Copies of this chain bind each other. A is one copy, B any other.
């Protein structure tokens, strides 16, 4: 009749907990951006990456930010349409497309970065002296991939 299930504690299951926390953080952040600047999280990541990185091809962003290249490509197109960045062919390798912030994009980024920092400060305050430990753990987990 009724079979017995092995012991299992979903509430303590790490992949699940990560999903919940990550979703929560993303959502909180999205709310602060979307309404005010019309920028999605994905677009935000691309924007930041371009602003703070030397490498700026789609492929580079894909690697550095763990985003599907199609996701990056579409985000870049939306950002270009909105006037925040420009695309131009890399003459040393014509397969590559160099992305660069426009002045408008730089202005936007300068506005929204402090918001992101303030949010991280909240998290930091919540965790207190354990914040550094969290960063260390996240580092270990991120390195795990491949």
17 pairs, CB–CB < 8 Å, chain A vs chain B: A2-B106, A3-B107, A3-B110, A5-B52, A5-B113, A6-B117, A8-B116, A13-B116, A14-B120, A15-B123, A16-B65, A18-B25, A19-B22, A19-B25, A19-B26, A127-B137, A130-B136
Q: Is the interface of A mostly helix, strand, loop or mixed?
A: helix
Distance, CA A135 to CA B13, complexed state (A): 9
Contact with B along A48-91 (1 / 0, CB 8 A): 11011000000000000110000000000000000000000000
Q: Number of A residues contacting the other chain (C-beta, 8 Å)?
A: 59
Q: Interface residues, chain A, CB within 8 Å of chain B?
A: 2-6, 8-10, 12-26, 28-29, 41, 45, 48-49, 51-52, 65-66, 103, 106-107, 109-110, 113-114, 116-117, 119-120, 123, 126-127, 130, 133-138, 140-142, 144-145
Distance, CA A4 to CA B6, complexed state (A): 57
| Chain B residue at smallest Cβ distance from A11 | B64
Distance, CA A48 to CA B16, complexed state (A): 11
Let me know if A52 and B10 touch, CB within 8 A.
Answer: yes
Distance, CA A84 to CA B69, complexed state (A): 36
Provide the residues of chain B in CB contact with A28, threshold 8 Å.
Answer: 15
Known contacts A126-B144, A127-B141; 6 additional CB pairs below 8 A are A5-B110, A6-B114, A15-B26, A20-B142, A24-B141, A130-B136
Distance, CA A18 to CA B25, complexed state (A): 8
